Chains A and B, each alone.
Chain A
Amino acid sequence: MNMKTKKRDLALVILTAGILIAGLLVLQNSPIISAQGSTVCAVHSSLGWCQDVDPSLADPNYPTYQTSCSNGPGECAVGTCVNTNQGTCLSSSQAACDPSLGGQFYSTSPDNTPVCQQGCCVIGNEGGSITTKAHCDAMAPLYPGATETFRADVTDQIQCSILGAPTVQGACVYSTGSGKTCKFDTQQDCLNMQKTFSGATFYKNYLCTNKDLTNQGVNCTKTQMTTCFSGQAQVYFVDSCGNQANIYNANEYNDPNYWNYIAGTNGVAYPSPVDVNNINSQNSPKYNGNCDSFNSSTCMAYNRNIDSVQPQYGNYVCRNLNCVSGPFVQQFVSDYGRAPVNGESWCARTDPSNPNAVIFGNNTGLTSNNGGNATLASDLSKSQDLPGGRDFVLGCYNGQVTVEGCADYRNQICEQNQNSNGVYQSLCVLNNWRSCYAQNSSAACEAAGDCQWIVGASILKDPNTYLPYVYNSTTDQLVPRSDSGNLLGQIAPGIFASTSYDSRPGASCVPKYAPGFDASPTASQNSAADATTICSIPNTNCFVNFTRGALASLTGGAVHAEGGAGGWMVQDAHITCLDNDGNLTDATKWMTNFTNLCFSLGDCGVSANYINTSGSNSINDMFKVYGNLSNSTS
């Protein structure tokens, strides 16, 4: 081969390598379809925008990426979609932010997008609300003539509401083609009206029904009509021009001064808060419209099916926002001695002993004693967490009792607390149980999540001997057994000298609130495997080798644990069958210990479900006896 050929070949190799490398670089940054059997990030699929799906589900009109959508490839990069028409800002992928609908995409998060900075928006008399500048700008045209104010330095809603409360209000009198008229407004807005209606005059603290204004030709008179105004909780009278008059006070209706000036000025008394609990008083909603949404009432259209009293004038009334009737209210009154108040929430779950009943209050999970360590065969017997059961949060909001379920499979539990005013506040919190089983000390157990350390039996086993660990309470550690004599290399009957028996009990870190498993026919293989894995953790064998006494035939073959010529005698026993004193434990007690341990792990063992229907397994499925005492000599 001559030099020319060699050079040509070398050039060919280099060129080919270069093409391959370039191709790889291009492919890495291009959307491609992956090989069958793995998921791709599909920009659009039958599951919507930017989901990891099987390639067969991807929409062929959109690209796909051979990576997870959580990595934000291409159009699936997450940023902020701004609705330029309405000024809303939402986290979104670029793909979902459609420009034809007015969407403008920013690659930054909403908090870091300047146009999406939150602040206090005040428009005219509409009150203050925390929103974005863009939204504030979009809202302003809906209230012609109203002044728009945006305060980026105010991000607290209460402070914003105070800012939005009208400061100086009164009657704004102006002339139109058909004569003089009046609008109840702020001083600032009345000034703005001068641009349209020259001669607009502001009368501070005047109502449009003021007799002085009537003498000037303003034709706004008092009416019996009432209404609610946006952003305000109270019931107001309105005059014949549709203006806001004073807060509804039926006792003052016939007082001329009440229709002259704003309440709280010029001798017009400001009404005391309405008493929604006493419908016979002069401060009841029948006569008083000074509602207070922060406590217990707000302005609503009168509804004979809901409101206990009809207003004397008009069709609007202060509605009681506390829950005085409806589902669960009676039980709340029975349990806690009072009706639930607006904003109150409390926990509930099905009563295990009565499927038609509901228990209120915190889920206590496993009970404990002995300074925090629960013991088996005593406190674990009846956990409140039965198969199918879940926690609920009940709430009283705006006069309605709401029911909100916490996550299924007890992945959430309800936590109920009481604030300084004695009002209950509850919410669903994460049941952090998944790391419990692996903990080998009480300290680690308590730090691991919603776990509890129980003494009596061990889940964790020594990988060398397969024997359950024992608990060293001095060092707070699970440790291998320190029996002397014949130690078992594998699970098999063994002989132990009682003088060298390790009498320390086992211990386990178990979920405080036992999780649930998906036992439905459509459960995935993974969830079914989880249930099997978790429930089999404490599986164990108790081998007992009995010998028959010489006089067994006379005693009917009864088993005597401690020996005796009259019946079967224990020749030797596996250590798991021995109690703390090294004696062969009572079979019932041993079974109970492990039943309760199973129960604490999740929907394991034998029990009824949350509506007291028994499962299909029996105790014989949990415990099996191998061997036969009747005819053997040993």
Chain B
Amino acid sequence: MNEKEGNSAKFKFLKSRRGQVTVFILLGIIIVSVAAVIYFLYPQIKSTFGIVTDPQSYIQTCMQDKINEVVKEVSLQGGSVNPGHFILYYNSDLGRSYPVEYLCYTNKDSQPCTMQQPLLQPHIESEIANGIKSTADTCFSNLQKSYQNRGYTASLIPGNITVELIPNQIKVTFNDQLTLTRGNTQRYTEFNMFVNSNLYELSGIANSILQWEVQYGDANTPLFMMYYTHLLMEKKLQTDGTKVYILTDLDTGEKFQFATRSYAWPPGYGGNQ
């Protein structure tokens, strides 16, 4: 069949009923596929194209990854973003080293440790808040601009960030105030986010361990695990007497690790005093 005859055959197919049905079926499949993509990837598409439907959702999407990142960092470094006094510990399960902060420490042998973070949970809350501040400022700034680009009058009063560790979650509150005006006025005085995390319980257990370390120089790991049946508690004793505690929630895989040095025994008679 030559080219002229081929084109003619195609034209005839399209003109025929069967051909039209086929075309409509294909179009339908394409439309349904696009709709499905939009439905499942809408938040990402929105954020990619800067489309903002409501400020709360926007902030949630914008901050989610950063909050998760900072929470993980703080959890694996003894509660701090930048630990002051730490031991560099290689976690074989995670495949890298972390600076793990000493939460109770003494540089002497055969002596109880001195508590370094008696207010562990407020400290963690403060560290998370400070760790996400910069990203939050950017997100709110972008939020304001996106509304301005859509013809709104958008005024933003920056506020502080409060983080609360609560059972099974972390509540993050952004106290920024956003006022949007286009015709009518909408005012947003705070933005709340909830992140799934068991850091509340893990840090609470860490507190109990620290009290044992101060009082007895050691914590009874079996006792803790028999009581908390979803907990794995590892105690990694280092050569210099440091202990790295690793608490793992067996349900979620979430970890909290920290270091102590209490009632360390030196080698020989005198060791390193």
Chain A residues proximal to chain B, CB less than 8 Å: 46-53, 69-70, 76, 78, 81, 83, 85-86, 88, 90-93, 96-98, 101-103, 110, 142, 157, 230, 233, 293, 298, 300-301, 321, 342-343, 345, 395, 397-400, 402, 404-409, 411-412, 430, 434, 515-518, 523-524, 526-527, 529-531, 533-534, 602
CB < 8 Å: which of A70, A101, A412, A517 contacts B123?
A: A101
Contact yes or no, A142 B211, CB < 8 A: no
Bound CA span A602–B267, Å: 11
CB-CB < 8 A to B210: which residues of A? Answer: 90
Whether the Cβ atoms of B272 and A300 lie closer than 8 Å is no
Would B119 and A300 count as touching, CB distance under 8 A? Answer: no
Contact status of A517 and B108, CB under 8 A, knowing A90-B115, A402-B232: no
Contacts of A96 in B (CB 8 A): 114-118
B231 interface residue, CB < 8 Å from A? yes
In the complex, A633→B102 CA distance in Å?
70
Assess whether B269 is in contact with A533, with CB atoms less than 8 Å apart: yes
A397 and B222 within 8 A (CB) = yes
Q: Could you count the A-B residue pairs with CB atoms below 8 Å apart for me: how many are there? A: 170
Contact B111 A48 (CB under 8 A): no
B: residues with CB less than 8 A from A are 84-85, 102, 105-108, 111, 114-123, 126, 166-167, 204, 207, 210-211, 214-215, 221-222, 225-227, 229-237, 239, 241, 250-251, 265-273
Residues of A with C-beta under 8 A to B272: 524, 526-527
Q: What does DSSP make chain A's interface, helix, strand, loop or mixed?
A: mixed
A397 touches B267 (CB 8 A): no
Residues of A within 8 A of B123 (CB): 101
Bound complex: CA A101 to CA B237 (Å): 31
The answer for the CA separation of A46 and B102 in the assembled complex, in Å, is 12
Q: Which single residue of chain B is at the shortest CB-CB distance from A294?
A: B226
- Please report the C-alpha to C-alpha distance between residue A88 and residue B119 in the assembled complex, in whole angstroms: 8
- By the criterion CB–CB under 8 Å, are B119 and A97 in contact? yes
Asked if A48 contacts B214 (CB within 8 A), the reply is no
Contact A91 B211 (CB under 8 A): yes
User: Cβ of B236: which chain A residues have Cβ within 8 Å of it?
Assistant: 405
A83 to B222, CA, bound (A): 27
Q: Is A516 in contact with B267, judged by CB distance below 8 angstroms?
A: yes
Q: A412-B265, A518-B267 are in contact. Are A49 and B114 (CB under 8 A)?
A: yes
Q: Which residues of the other chain, B, contact A395 by a CB distance below 8 angstroms?
A: 221-222, 225
Which chain B residues border A408 with CB–CB below 8 Å? 237, 239, 267
How far apart are B103's CB and chain A's nearest CB, in angstroms? 9
**What distance in Å separates the Cβ of B173 from its nearest Cβ neighbour in chain A?**
15
Residues of A within 8 A of B267 (CB): 408-409, 411, 515-518, 523, 527, 530
Please measure, in the bound complex, the distance between the C-alpha atom of A97 and the C-alpha atom of B85, giving whole angstroms.
Answer: 17
Chain A proximity of B251: nearest CB distance (Å): 6
Contact A300 B106 (CB under 8 A): no
Known: A90-B210, A91-B211, A526-B268. A83 touches B102 (CB 8 A): no
Closest chain B residue, CB of each to CB of A533 = B269
- Counting from the closest, the 7 A-B pairs by CB-CB distance are A530-B268, A92-B118, A81-B118, A411-B265, A518-B267, A101-B122, A409-B267
| B115:A91 contact, CB within 8 angstroms | yes
Instruction: List chain A residues, Cβ under 8 A from B273.
Output: 526
> With contacts A47-B105, A142-B167 known, is A397 near B226, CB below 8 A?
yes
How far is A527 from B273 in the complex, measured between Cα atoms in Å? 9
**By the criterion CB–CB under 8 Å, are A400 and B271 in contact?**
no
Residues of A within 8 A of B114 (CB): 48-51, 69, 76, 78, 93, 96
Residues of A contacting B214 in the complex (Cβ-Cβ under 8 angstroms): 90-91
